[in-house]
Amino acid sequence: MSRADKIFIDMCRDIIDNGYSSEGQEVRPRWQDGTPAHTIKKFGVVNRYNLAEEFPILTLRPTYLKSAIDEILWIWQKKSNNIKDLKSKIWDSWADETGSIGKAYGYQLGIKHKYNEGEFDQVDRVLYDLKHNPSSRRIMTNIYNHQDLHEMNLYPCAYSVTFNVTGNKLNAILNQRSNDVLVANNWNVVQYAALVHMFARVSGLEVGELVHVIADAHIYDRHIPLVEELISRKSYDAPKLIVNPEIKDFYDFTVNDFVLENYQKGDQIKGIPVAV
């Protein structure tokens, strides 16, 4: 069993067995038939992934690596807030007629700020510090900009990353306010694990830990049977992530620079209902 599978199974089991249900409360999300979409949740979930030991992609079902990386590059490399720069359709419902999702996600990372060393956006400041100030305890990003929230079509879910170099290893803490465990949990883990690999590669570092801190980790009521079936499945050993060793600049990465070796996985879950 991969470590990522065990973490996922234990988290889901804890949420289902010990979580807090929103039944009886007024909730914002609705199913397509108009029924309130209730959840069972745990507050303050913390999952730790040792990226030096394995790449934390689920084997219980497939997580599509190239699509996940395409989205993280859309946000962190292209710094885009327009779905026309993204291959997948997962953001379409949040976009306006021009394709924009407002002043959200990539838009925030691309805003330049003044420092003693010059002007940097948030991504370039991280890359600068990893090379010039690796012992700094100030290497972080934050896209939850309160003054722009009213112009975001979706408030950021994964909103802050703190990077920390220990020895020659790059570690990161991903802070997330809300996480739909069945639909998005491993998707986010895979994305930010890949991002740590990218930043480590171009900074001359090795990968260390990814710590995923989730304020509200929830499973929707209609997802519970699907999660129960998923976590009862056979697990496989984690695959190996191969990153193109020729890439030296973060802005040169493409989805084709990442390959999974020996990725065994279960079948995809089809027909997952999505609350809106």
Residue 12 is a catalytic residue? no
From the number of C-beta atoms within 10 Å of its C-beta (0-12, 13-18, 19+), residue 223 rates as buried
Say if residues 53 and 241 touch (Cβ distance below 8 Å).
Answer: no
Say if residues 235 and 5 touch (Cβ distance below 8 Å).
Answer: yes
Nearest CA to 208 out of 66, 89, 56, 95 is that of 56
Active-site residue, selected from the candidate residues 16, 90, 157, 183: 157
Whole-angstrom distance, CA of residue 64 vs CA of residue 96: 26
Residues that constitute the known binding site: 137-138, 177-180, 188, 218-220, 275
Q: What is the DSSP string of 194-215?
A: HHHHHHHHHHT-EEEEEEEEEE
Say if residues 126 and 138 touch (Cβ distance below 8 Å).
Answer: no
Q: What is the DSSP string of 98-167?
A: TSB-BS-THHHHT--EEETTEEE-HHHHHHHHHHH-TT-S--EEE---GGGGGGBSS--SEEEEEEEEET
Residues that constitute the known binding site for dUMP: 137-138, 177-180, 188, 218-220
Say if residues 162 and 209 touch (Cβ distance below 8 Å).
Answer: no
Residues 72, 78, 81, 84, Cα dihedral to 10°: -90
Give the residue numbers marked as catalytic: 157
